[in-house]
């Protein structure tokens, strides 16, 4: 069954504009409709695995028109986005009752999904920018959704730095257009493959790296994240840390570097440096935090470092002419870690939301002994902590293992050691979370705390089950080929992307 | 026996244990008997495994880029006897703790963790694939963490420290394993034999040895052990740190260094000096600290560290006698140390405290516990004819042998190792005299008048372990021939100078004891002892003021010039890698926090600087 690609964008976009019409009376209906839309997107994205599809908008062929491209990497991203947004939506149904104007929330949520789906499907670089802005602006509003002063401050900071990032990207798009005469990624890719990269394009590459690096919150472009992610409502924190930084940042960055402008030794080392800096600085900042969500936010920086490190190592191996097997292993590890991080980090944010909703605080020092009061939250949070710390058999173990194997095999022993070290510090900081939130003495004022069950618990259990069984994506070969290997090949093929997209256009006969 | 037994005995308890972790508390009446049943069945399976040493099981799981992840399990004579004892300890502890854990708030986590331990430890011992070994190794770590969290107040701190240190060593193990793979291109342990003494091989060996030594609790990575000893339940200490963690740590070390067969036999041969230093330092330092402890469980925990030193020393000799001694000592230690912890737990349960100052005179109230504790204490101190003596004797023989056979630095220094080991053994005895005195013998405080002996669930496991101490001591050739020699691949008997005749010595001891008993009886029969309250200058002294606590026994040692400073540093955790790493880590964190001051223009500056650097690199304008 072939699903028309524009549906991924049109469906959430249309519902985002229709839902506010429901008004206060039909609030329940609006939530239900939004959940159904996201569920449909989830099913569609799972069905799109293993497909390669180019959609020509309005029959204007490349290079004249706009195209949407679905390849292995886009499919992986789509599935990640839909999974996290589905569980976040389930969680929101009860959680967002604490706030007013839920319809606006739903509408912004769907807009953000629209933007992310658009980014990962877009086949031309200007539309990528447009969708990136849609998702970003929706997320600025969502960060400030509570309208408390710290939330507004965080949203303002986020918006300022986010706008700077968008401007860099737009500037880069302009420079690329001036140098190659096209905005279509396949055409640019073909141009670079034939003519090599010139100083103008290198300038654009630096701009893209900064812009997308800001969106991905890589050190030193990360400063907005620790304010923005904790300030948002918990399901939105889950969305931001879980998928937004990946779709807007990591995906765009790796797509542009691998498939459009091409890899070089310099950019590989830049990626590795960004990765290592993010991993180390992020994790050491995280371990010192006493605010539950802020701690999680710093871990997002650190974990994004893993992903970028994997991608950077692959780029280095490929551009040095090393063994491509280790390059694809590094990519596999990086991309798998991206999926895993989406799952366990959104789960962690949801559990933090559950704790905050039940106790009214997220300061670790004011909590304690909640294991008996919040059993579901405790179990799921423990599973997610084990997953992010890389305890077998949870999903994080497999991706980190693969990353370290790739680093050792490629002879990058120092990077392997850093990866393991950061993993140990991660473990320590989640032991801290367990110790202060769920173990120890229950404070007097929390004796009557009760857990919110229902859909919130469902969302958390769903993600916890994924944490336990997602290792199957690596272990079970057919899954790996369809989900991960396709995505890895999409990146490691490099400029072959152009040929594939352009020939697919001819095949569709348009 | 069919080969399918291997995966079943490993995975069935793990899966059941994992599910049990998440069950609601109300189901504990179901999970408690389930735990007993599972551990008993695992023990039966372990007996089966012990009888058939040819079992092996392999199934390919997946393959990425020529790297194969296969589930390879194989039984060897080294693993089979360790499996037998690991399963045995698990079921004994399950019996010991199953009833008292019912009242625990997190009962199901405790039961689940026991099952995880059963499966995980056997998995480590059976694994023939390094990553499979790592997998189970980590499961055992997690099980220990979960068990400690079920303890009382402050156990959360102990659990955190334990998992942090063991987790860090697991990270070292992972790196070591991958370096090994890089060198020889296979994960299959039976195919790995590294002969080149290159830097990568040395790094790999050291990393893996760190993991083994941390698990076993050797100096200087031992500090998780006393902390968890102080705050967690005695049963937890008895099952993992005292016995199974020792089995696993020493197993890995032997697998690495065993001459001719070990993964790193050649590399390790050159690093014997390092191992010997670690061994000797562990023996001496830990026992010195143990002497001045006031908490039974913490004191036992320091002895659990000190005894590791003997095992490491025995292995460091790398000659047959020393290796046999090291392994035998590991076995004996697991037996008497879990017995000791169980006794400590029994005392704590009956009296409500584990602090030596508040205990005393319990020998009459808890005779069975006293007997078990006495036998185990004599064993650990290396007193004839108990098992600890037999294995320490072998270790000493091994050290002397090492001095004869080779001329490397490690061998030339053999008198040093020998003297340290023997001196530490004397200190161990001293420290247990203190324990026996303060808990069981000295005057009983008034608060403990109502103390009762523990239930059969508790004393039966203690008695079994104490009986093993006696049997393995008197008939010490039996365990050597059945378990140790086959495990190391020796045929027949070892020719050792000064193998002692245990039956004669035991006979003499028994005669001596009988004569003593007769004398006591002869003197006391027919004479009535008169009991009067103590009084000084006309004042009757209250009972509690007349207690001579054992805690004062070795104060002179800790106030010796030179040692005094070291003891006070030790108290302040100056030598604790966990505390020190934590301090430097938080220094780094604070510096980074200071940089993140929340001022937007500064953040903008970072972005600008970042962009400039990128432009310099990418546009090649330098």
Across the interface, do B585 and A408 touch by the CB < 8 Å criterion?
A: no
Across the interface, do B606 and A221 touch by the CB < 8 Å criterion?
A: yes
* pLDDT band (50, 70, 90) for residue B142: very high
Mean pLDDT computed over A461-470: 93
Across the interface, do A206 and B182 touch by the CB < 8 Å criterion?
A: no
Nearest CA of chain B to the CA of A14: how many Å? 36
Residues of chain B with C-beta less than 8 angstroms from the C-beta of A281: 592
Burial B486-513 (b: 16+ CB within 10 A, else e): bbbebeeebebeebeebeeebeeeeeee
pLDDT at residue B140, as a whole number: 93
B265 within a domain of the structure (yes/no): no
Across the interface, do A420 and B171 touch by the CB < 8 Å criterion?
A: yes
Distances (CA, A) of A496 to A324, A334, A390, A503: 15, 21, 35, 11
Residues of chain A with C-beta less than 8 angstroms from the C-beta of B134: 392
pLDDT digits (tens, 9 = 90+) for B480-526: 888 888 888 877 666 655 566 667 777 888 888 899 888 888 887 76
Cβ(B208)–Cβ(B172) below 8 Å: yes
B548 within a domain of the structure (yes/no): no
B266 within a domain of the structure (yes/no): no
pLDDT at residue B194, as a whole number: 84
* pLDDT band (50, 70, 90) for residue B596: confident
B553 within a domain of the structure (yes/no): no
pLDDT digits (tens, 9 = 90+) for A408-430: 999 899 999 999 999 999 999 99
Nearest to A210 among B178, B588, B611 (CB): B611
Q: What is the CB neighbour count within 10 angstroms for residue A160?
A: 16
Mean pLDDT of chain A: 91
pLDDT digits (tens, 9 = 90+) for B7-64: 899 999 999 999 999 988 888 889 999 999 999 999 999 998 888 888 888 888 888 8
Both B304 and B387 in one domain: the answer is: yes
Both B284 and B226 in one domain: the answer is: no
Mean pLDDT computed over B168-174: 93
Distances (CA, A) of B74 to A34, B7, B54, B352: 54, 10, 8, 45
Mean pLDDT computed over B181-203: 87
Nearest to B603 among A161, A284, A423 (CB): A161
Is B217's pLDDT higher than 70?
yes
Rounded-to-integer distance, Cα A53 and Cα A71, Å: 7
Distances (CA, A) of A264 to A216, A313, A314: 21, 12, 11
Rounded-to-integer distance, Cα B444 and Cα B544, Å: 8
Both B470 and B604 in one domain: the answer is: no
B321 within a domain of the structure (yes/no): yes
Across the interface, do A270 and B618 touch by the CB < 8 Å criterion?
A: yes
Nearest to A164 among B24, B168, B607 (CB): B607
ipTM over cut 0.90: yes
Q: Where are the alpha helices (DSSP H) in A249-369?
A: 252-254, 265-287, 292-319, 324-359
Which pairs count as long-range contacts for B543-546, CB under 8 Å and 24+ apart, including other chains? B543/B443, B543/B444, B543/B445, B543/B446, B544/B445, B544/B446, B546/B443
Mean pLDDT computed over A193-209: 91
Tell me how many domains chain B contains: 3
What global pTM score does this model have? 0.92
Last residue of a domain, one of B241, B261, B287: B241
B254 within a domain of the structure (yes/no): no
Residue of B nearest to A379 (CA): B22
Q: Which domain holds residue B600?
A: 577-618
Across the interface, do A210 and B607 touch by the CB < 8 Å criterion?
A: yes
B589 within a domain of the structure (yes/no): yes
Both B600 and B502 in one domain: the answer is: no
Across the interface, do A214 and B163 touch by the CB < 8 Å criterion?
A: no
Both B83 and B5 in one domain: the answer is: yes
pLDDT at residue B500, as a whole number: 61
Across the interface, do A329 and B598 touch by the CB < 8 Å criterion?
A: no
Last residue of a domain, one of B486, B516, B546: B516
Both B47 and B143 in one domain: the answer is: yes
Across the interface, do A270 and B167 touch by the CB < 8 Å criterion?
A: no
Bridge partner list, B60: B70
Residues of chain B with C-beta less than 8 angstroms from the C-beta of A477: 62-63
User: Residue A357: helix, strand or coil by DSSP?
Assistant: helix
**Cβ within 8 Å of residue B590, ≥6 positions away:** A288
pLDDT at residue B332, as a whole number: 92
pLDDT at residue B259, as a whole number: 80
Across the interface, do B603 and A224 touch by the CB < 8 Å criterion?
A: yes
pLDDT at residue B501, as a whole number: 67
Nearest to A474 among B62, B172, B179 (CB): B62
Total CB pairs under 8 A between chain A and B: 163
B251 within a domain of the structure (yes/no): no
Both B231 and B283 in one domain: the answer is: no
Both B35 and B120 in one domain: the answer is: yes
User: Tell me, what DSSP letter sits at residue A98?
Assistant: G
pLDDT at residue B562, as a whole number: 79
Residues of chain A with C-beta less than 8 angstroms from the C-beta of B160: 428, 431-432, 434-435
Q: What is the percent of chain B with per-residue pLDDT over 70, rounded to a whole number?
A: 98
Ranking A250-259, A414-423, B95-104 by mean pLDDT, the lowest is B95-104
Chain center to CA of B181: 29
Is B622's pLDDT higher than 60?
no
Mean pLDDT computed over A463-472: 92
Is A510's pLDDT higher than 50?
no
User: Residue B68: helix, strand or coil by DSSP?
Assistant: strand
pLDDT digits (tens, 9 = 90+) for A152-184: 999 999 999 999 999 999 999 999 999 998 999
Both B153 and B287 in one domain: the answer is: no
Mean pLDDT computed over B369-387: 89
Rounded-to-integer distance, Cα B166 and Cα B578, Å: 11
Q: What is the percent of chain A with per-residue pLDDT over 90, rounded to a whole number?
A: 67
Residues of chain A with C-beta less than 8 angstroms from the C-beta of B142: 386, 391
Mean pLDDT computed over B531-552: 76
Burial B590-599 (b: 16+ CB within 10 A, else e): eebeeebeee
Q: Where are the alpha helices (DSSP H) in B150-271?
A: 155-184, 199-216, 224-231, 234-239, 245-257, 265-270
Rounded-to-integer distance, Cα B316 and Cα B212, Å: 14
Last residue of a domain, one of B516, B534, B553: B516
**Which of A167, A295, A420 best tests the B interface by mutation, with the highest count of B CBs <10 A?**
A420
Both B306 and B216 in one domain: the answer is: no
pLDDT at residue B473, as a whole number: 87
Ranking A26-35, A478-487, B95-104, B298-307 by mean pLDDT, the lowest is B95-104
Element (H, E) at B72: strand B67-74
Distances (CA, A) of A165 to A171, A270, A308, B538: 10, 18, 18, 91
* pLDDT band (50, 70, 90) for residue A386: very high
- Residue A32 is encoded by which pair of tokens? 């239900």
Is A46's pLDDT higher than 60?
yes
Both B281 and B237 in one domain: the answer is: no
pLDDT digits (tens, 9 = 90+) for A94-114: 888 888 888 889 999 999 999
Both B48 and B121 in one domain: the answer is: yes
| Burial of residue B429, with CB atoms counted within 10 A of its CB: 0-12 exposed, 13-18 middle, 19 or more buried | middle
Nearest CA of chain A to the CA of B160: how many Å? 6
- Please state whether the peptide bond connecting residue B241 to the residue before it is cis, i.e. omega within 30 degrees of 0: no
Cβ(B121)–Cβ(B244) below 8 Å: yes
Chain center to CA of A292: 20
């Amino acid at each position: 069954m072939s699903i028309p690609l524009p549906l991924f964008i049109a469906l959430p976009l249309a519902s985002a504009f229709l839902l506010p019409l429901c008004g206060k009376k039909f609030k329940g209906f609006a939530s239900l409709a939004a959940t159904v839309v996201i569920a449909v997107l989830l099913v569609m994205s799972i069905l799109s695995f293993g497909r390669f599809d180019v959609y020509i908008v309005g029959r204007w062929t490349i290079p004249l028109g706009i195209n949407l491209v679905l390849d292995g990497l886009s499919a992986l991203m789509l599935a990640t986005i839909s999974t996290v947004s589905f569980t976040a939506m389930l969680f929101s149904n009860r959680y967002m009752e604490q706030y007013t104007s839920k319809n606006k929330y739903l509408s912004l949520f769907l807009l953000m999904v629209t933007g992310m789906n658009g980014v990962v499907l877009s086949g031309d670089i200007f539309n990528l920018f447009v969708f990136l802005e849609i998702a970003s602006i929706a997320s600025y509003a969502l960060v400030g959704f509570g309208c408390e002063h710290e939330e507004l401050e965080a949203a303002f900071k986020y918006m300022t730095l986010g706008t700077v990032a968008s401007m860099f990207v737009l500037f880069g798009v302009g420079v690329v257009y001036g140098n190659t005469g096209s905005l279509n990624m396949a055409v640019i890719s073909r141009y670079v493959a034939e003519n090599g990269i010139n100083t103008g394009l290198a300038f654009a590459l630096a701009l893209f790296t900064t812009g997308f690096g800001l969106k991905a919150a890589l050190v030193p472009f990360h400063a907005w994240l620790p304010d923005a992610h904790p300030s948002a409502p918990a399901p939105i924190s889950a969305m931001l840390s879980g998928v937004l930084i990946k779709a807007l940042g990591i995906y765009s960055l790796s797509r542009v570097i691998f498939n459009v402008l091409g890899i070089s030794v310099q950019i590989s080392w830049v990626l590795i440096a960004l990765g290592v800096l993010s991993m180390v600085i992020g994790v050491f900042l995280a371990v010192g935090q006493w605010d539950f969500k802020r701690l999680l936010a710093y871990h997002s920086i650190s974990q994004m470092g893993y992903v970028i490190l994997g991608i950077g190592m692959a780029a280095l191996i490929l551009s040095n002419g090393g063994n491509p097997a280790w390059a694809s292993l590094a990519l596999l590890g990086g991309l798998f870690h991206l999926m895993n991080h989406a799952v366990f980090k959104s789960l962690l944010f949801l559990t933090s939301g559950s704790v905050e909703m039940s106790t009214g605080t997220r300061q670790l020092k004011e909590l304690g002994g909640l294991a008996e009061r919040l059993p579901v939250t405790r179990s799921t949070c423990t599973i997610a902590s084990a997953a992010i710390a890389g305890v077998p058999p949870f999903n994080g173990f497999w991706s980190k293992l693969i990353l370290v194997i790739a680093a050792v095999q490629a002879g990058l022993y120092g990077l392997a050691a850093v990866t393991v070290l950061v993993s140990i510090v991660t473990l320590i900081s989640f032991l801290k979370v367990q110790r202060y939130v769920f173990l120890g003495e229950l404070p007097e004022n929390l004796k009557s705390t009760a857990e919110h069950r229902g859909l919130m618990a469902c969302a958390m259990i769903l993600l916890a089950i994924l944490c336990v069984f997602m290792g199957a994506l690596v272990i079970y070969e057919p899954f790996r080929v369809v989900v991960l290997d396709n995505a890895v090949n999409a990146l490691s093929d490099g400029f072959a992307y152009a040929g594939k997209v352009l020939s697919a256009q001819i095949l569709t006969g348009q | 026996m069919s080969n399918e037994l291997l995966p079943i005995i490993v995975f069935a308890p793990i899966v059941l244990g994992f599910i049990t972790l998440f069950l609601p508390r109300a189901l504990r009446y179901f999970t408690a008997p389930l735990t007993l049943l599972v551990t008993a069945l695992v023990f039966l399976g372990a007996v089966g495994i012990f009888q058939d040493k040819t079992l092996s099981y392999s199934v390919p799981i997946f393959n990425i880029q020529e790297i194969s992840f296969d589930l390879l399990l194989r039984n060897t004579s080294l693993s089979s006897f360790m499996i037998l004892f690991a399963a045995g300890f698990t079921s004994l502890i399950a019996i010991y703790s199953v009833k008292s854990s019912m009242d625990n708030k997190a009962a199901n986590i405790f039961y689940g963790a026991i099952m995880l331990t059963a499966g995980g430890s056997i998995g480590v011992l059976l694994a023939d694939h390094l990553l499979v070994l790592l997998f189970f190794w980590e499961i055992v770590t997690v099980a220990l963490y979960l068990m400690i969290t079920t303890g009382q107040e402050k156990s959360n701190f102990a659990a955190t420290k334990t998992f942090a240190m063991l987790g860090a060593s697991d990270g070292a193990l992972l790196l070591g394993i991958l370096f090994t793979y890089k060198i020889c291109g296979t994960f299959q342990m039976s195919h790995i034999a590294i002969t080149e003494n290159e830097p990568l091989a040395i790094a790999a060996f050291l990393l893996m040895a760190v993991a083994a030594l941390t698990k076993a609790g050797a100096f200087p990575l031992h500090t998780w052990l006393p902390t968890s000893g102080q705050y967690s339940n005695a049963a937890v200490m008895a099952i993992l740190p005292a016995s199974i963690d020792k089995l696993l740590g020493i197993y890995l070390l032997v697998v690495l260094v065993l001459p001719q067969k070990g993964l790193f036999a050649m590399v390790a041969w050159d690093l014997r000096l390092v191992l010997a230093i670690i061994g000797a330092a562990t023996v001496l330092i830990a026992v010195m600290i143990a002497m001045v402890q006031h908490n039974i469980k913490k004191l036992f925990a320091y002895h659990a560290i000190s005894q590791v030193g003997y095992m490491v020393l025995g292995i460091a000799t790398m000659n047959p006698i020393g290796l046999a001694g090291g392994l035998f000592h590991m076995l004996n230690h697991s037996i008497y140390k879990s017995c000791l912890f169980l006794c400590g737990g029994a005392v704590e349960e009956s009296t409500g405290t584990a602090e030596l100052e508040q205990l005393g005179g319990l020998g009459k109230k808890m005779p069975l516990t006293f007997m078990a504790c006495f036998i185990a204490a004599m064993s650990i101190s290396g007193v004839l004819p108990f098992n600890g003596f037999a294995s320490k004797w072998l270790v000493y023989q091994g050290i002397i042998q090492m001095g004869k056979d080779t001329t490397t630095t490690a061998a030339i220094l053999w008198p040093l190792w020998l003297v340290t080991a023997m001196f530490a053994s004397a200190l161990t005895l001293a420290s247990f005299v203190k324990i026996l005195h303060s808990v069981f013998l000295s005057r009983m405080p008034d608060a403990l008048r109502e103390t009762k002996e523990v239930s059969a669930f508790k004393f039966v496991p203690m008695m079994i372990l104490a009986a093993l101490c006696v049997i393995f001591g008197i008939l010490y050739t039996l365990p050597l021939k059945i378990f140790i020699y086959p495990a190391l691949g020796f045929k027949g008997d070892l020719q050792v100078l000064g193998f002692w005749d245990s039956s004669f010595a035991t006979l003499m001891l028994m005669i001596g004891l009988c004569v003593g008993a007769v004398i006591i009886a002869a003197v006391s029969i027919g004479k009535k002892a008169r009991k009067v309250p103590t009084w000084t200058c006309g004042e009757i002294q209250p009972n509690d003021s007349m207690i001579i606590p054992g805690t004062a026994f070795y104060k002179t040692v800790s106030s010796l010039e030179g040692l005094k400073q070291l003891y006070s540093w030790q108290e302040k955790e100056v030598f604790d890698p966990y505390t020190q790493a934590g301090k430097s880590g938080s220094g780094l964190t604070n510096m980074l926090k200071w940089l993140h001051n929340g001022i937007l223009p500064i953040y903008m500056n970072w972005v600008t600087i970042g962009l400039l650097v990128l432009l310099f690199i990418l546009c090649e304008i330098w």
